Amino acid sequence: MFSVAKEKVKPIISVAVEGSNERFRSTLSNLKEPFLFLKKENHLFAYVVVGKLEKEALSVELLLEHAKPLESICHLSEHISLPVLFQIIGEPFAIIKGEDGNPSGYIRREDVLAELFKQENKSVDLLKIMLTSIPMGIFILDKEKRIINCNEAGLKMIKSKAEKVLNLPAGNIFSSSHINKVFKTGKTLLNHLEITNEMGVLVDYSPILNYDNEVDGIIIVVQDIPMVEEMALEIEYIKDLNKDLNAILSSIYDEILVVNAKGELIRFSENIIQDFWNVDLKELIGKNILELEDRGLFTPSVTRLVMEKKKKVSVVQETHNGRKILAVGNPVFNEKNELDRIIIASRDITETTRLKSELQEMRKISEQYRKELDDFKSKDRFLKKLIYCSPKMEKIMNQVKKIADFSSTVLLHGESGVGKEVIAQAIHQLGKRYQKPFLKLNCGAIPENLLESELFGYAKGAFTGADKNGKDGYFKQADGGILFLDEIGEMPVHLQVKLLRVLQEQEFIPVGSTLSMKVNVQIIAATNKNLAKMVEEGKFREDLYYRLNVIPIHIPALRERTEDISLLAFHFLQQLNEKYDRNYHLTPDAINVLEFYSWPGNVRELQNIIERLVVTADHPAIDAEFVSQFLSLGYEHKKMKPVITRVIPLQDAIDHVEEQLIIMAMNQYKTTTKAAKALGISQSSVSRKYQKILAEKNIKLENMSTL
């Protein structure tokens, strides 16, 4: 049987929920208890803990919202059983029934416990059950500060036995000063660490008050240090983890937002994007950031996309002030695979986008510069292949550089082997068509019946033996570029008409076809014949001649530019030395012999002679005697007179002829005495002049070797 002091039983404060009448408002205003009961149709049906609610804001609706069913509260009665009473201890309060069986009041858990302690003789068994079931250590002290009861959990924590603890002063084990303080003040002391050789525990001291609010005893609650340490370590670990997380977030360049599954902002990193949020992010904590998209702060919302797609999403957001933000949203799922969090990493890429555009523009400019530089290098490499130093060739090359920027038809004429093809290539390399094709066709090397199909191509099935798919001719293949027609004087008359049409109309008709084809081809023609004379003889069309002779360029023979002979000879010799890993060189007297020769085959003949000398020479030094074996000097001397290629002072011409005669005499007679007799001058004059000539040639060769 269990009974409680009437002073501890407090009347039930009930509120009807039918409406908000004057009594209801009066009850709320006078409310002093931390909870109240709700009544409907004169029956209690629920209770509300109002200690945490603001009394000024209480209303029927608010009470109903926080109400808990009355069935969750255990009831006390005159014949209550011990298990039911034990359940009551775990509840915040219990309802007391009156004699009529209806609820008449309630009592707090602490008051129930105090009543149990005071009714020690009646509730010993009940107290033991209660103490045994509590996981923490419990020690009960009486007024004399002796331990009158305890549980097994407490004995284990202090590493002792009941016979060594019960009815002994509590100060032997616990802090006497704390116990005295609780008896003196009647206040609870919490979380006091007490460590001895036998134990290490965390202790709470709570007073047991009588009806007059006097301290009749103390309840000491003990927690084992290892358990506390484990909890403390776990808390410390969480603190360190939180500290590390904050440090990581602060060091990340991106702005990090953590949003819950509803889209509400939970937390954010220290690094935030400047001039992006028009509000303080602290003000957005707990608010739904989806509303910011609706307000036009940015679009689209990565939060909304992640919530819709349930996967990682990357978007570029555009703000109202034109900034571009790269936002990456990562979903976080709970153990039920439900969306729990959204981690959003954002970075301002406005400047990056601008720099990327500028970089792309710079790359275009750089690529353009690179192409131009490659063009210059290509042109420079080609120009280095053009070996000349004579004024005549210098004049021709200046003319080539001028006409290269135009698409006018060019007619090159000169003797065979003077380098007409090299001049045509120079026009192509130095002009605007250098990246387009350069094709050459020798009109005299292809049979007349095939020349037309080679030039203009033919359609499918144009003639027997033709390619079944047809063929593009040289004009089609050279579209956009240059077509070099060598030996143009050998072109048949009937083809000259079609060539004239191409020059005039920039179109042609393939063999076997009726459809004309447009082309954009620059024509460079070359010949070693006198086309004007052929026109007079009726062998070449006059209208075609004038169409070809827009830019005429005459390339002089090698004998007319003797200044280039030694330079070309040295160039060809250097090429052969590099090709065959040799070290041949021409002596000064050999150079004199080469310059004296008339070179009817021009540059081509000179190149062939140098190769012949390298292949047949026995010594690295190629002298005049060895060179003379391959040149018909005597025959040429009888046939031809000394050639002066331009008007020069008479003395210079005399010196030039004198030099050639002395070299020829020395090559033929070997000694200055015999050479002097053949020339009809003194031996000393021949010796002096010959030494001077050799010295000048040596200087010239040294200058060429440094090129």
Tokens of 3: 């009974």
For residues 613 and 619, give the distance between their C-alpha atoms in angstroms, rounded to a whole number. Answer: 10
Residue 188 lies in a domain: yes
Phi, psi of 382 (to 5 degrees): -70, -40
- Which tokens hold the place of 443? 């009109």
Query: Average pLDDT per run of 10 along the chain, which is 707 residues long?
Result: 51 55 52 59 62 60 65 42 38 55 57 54 57 79 89 87 89 91 91 80 88 85 73 73 73 78 81 68 77 71 85 79 80 87 82 77 83 70 76 90 90 92 90 90 86 85 65 90 93 89 89 87 93 91 92 92 89 91 89 86 92 91 87 50 65 78 80 82 84 78 60
The confidence score (pLDDT) of residue 638 equals 40
In a domain, 600, yes or no: yes
Looking at residue 112, its pLDDT comes to 55
Alpha carbon 522 to its chain's center: 45
Say what the pLDDT of residue 1 is. Answer: 40
Q: Do 601 and 642 belong together in one domain?
A: yes
Type of residue found at 195: I
Specify the pLDDT at position 478: 92
Whether 34 and 82 map to the same domain: the answer is yes
**576 and 552 in one domain?**
no
The answer to whether the beta carbons of residues 502 and 541 sit under 8 Å apart is no
Q: Both 166 and 261 in a single domain?
A: no
The CATH number of whichever domain residue 176 belongs to comes to 3.30.450.20
Q: How far, in Å, CA of 468 to CA of 464, rounded? A: 10
Give the Cα separation of 523 and 491 in Å (integer). Answer: 14
- β-pairing, 200-209 vs 215-224, is antiparallel
Rounded-to-integer distance, Cα 371 and Cα 377, Å: 10
- Helix/strand/coil (H, E, C) string of 560-571? HCCHHHHHHHHH
Q: Does some domain include residue 244?
A: no
And the tokens for 252?
């990340």
Strand, helix or coil at 145? coil
625, 411, 644, 633: which is closest to 527 by C-alpha?
411
**Strands, DSSP E only, in 255-377?**
255-260, 265-268, 298-299, 313-319, 324-333, 339-348
Residue 605: CB partners within 8 Å, gap ≥ 6?
417, 558, 599
Q: CA–CA separation, 157 vs 140, rounded Å?
A: 15
Same structural domain, 78 and 139: no
In a shared domain, residues 397 and 513: yes
In contact, 324 and 363? CB cutoff 8 Å: no
Token duo for residue 369: 């510069």
Reported pTM: 0.47
- Domain match, 64 and 100 both: yes
Query: Using the 8-state DSSP alphabet, how is residue 556 labeled?
Result: P
Judgement on whether residues 536 and 525 belong to the same structural domain of the protein:
yes
407 domain-assigned = yes
The total domain count for the chain is 6
Closest CA to 126 of 80, 91, 174: 80
Q: Is residue 361 in some structural domain?
A: yes
Where do runs of H (alpha helix) occur along 585-682? 588-596, 602-616, 624-628, 633-639, 650-669, 672-679
CATH classification at residue 29: 3.10.580.10
Whether residue 368 sits in one domain with residue 304 = no
Instruction: Please report how the helices 563-580 and 683-705 are oriented relative to each other, as an axis angle in degrees rounded to 10.
Output: 60
Provide CB contacts within 8 A for 360, sequence distance 6+. Answer: none
**Peptide bond before residue 300 is cis, with ω within 30 degrees of 0:** yes
| Residue 126 domain-assigned (yes or no) | no
Where a domain ends, among 556, 571, 589? 556
Residue at token pair 């210098």: 394
Q: Are residues 551 and 613 in the same domain?
A: no
* Alpha-carbon span 50 to 28, nearest angstrom: 10
Q: Are residues 410 and 268 in the same domain?
A: no
Residues 402 and 544 in one domain: yes
**Domain termination residue (choose one: 500, 526, 556):** 556
* CA–CA dist 242, 258 (Å, integer): 14
Side by side, the strands of the sheet bearing 551-554 are: 438-442, 482-486, 522-527, 410-413, 551-554
Residues contacting residue 558 through CB under 8 Å, at least 6 positions apart:
417, 418, 564, 565, 568, 599, 602, 603, 605, 606
pLDDT at 76: 41
Q: Is 599 exposed, middle or buried (0-12, 13-18, 19+ CB in 10 A)?
A: buried
Inside any domain, residue 1: no
> 34 with 50: CB under 8 angstroms?
yes
Decide which of 116, 144, 162 is a domain's last residue: 116
Task: Give me the domain span that covers residue 362.
Answer: 357-385
List b or e across 153-167, with b for residues whose CB sees 16 or more CB atoms inside 10 angstroms. bbbebbebeeeebee
Residue among 457, 467, 545 at smallest CA distance from 507: 457
Which residues 6+ apart lie within 8 Å of 1 measured at CB? 78, 79, 122
Q: What CATH number has the domain bearing residue 599?
A: 1.10.8.60
In a domain, 375, yes or no: yes
Locate 584 and state its tokens. 């041949």
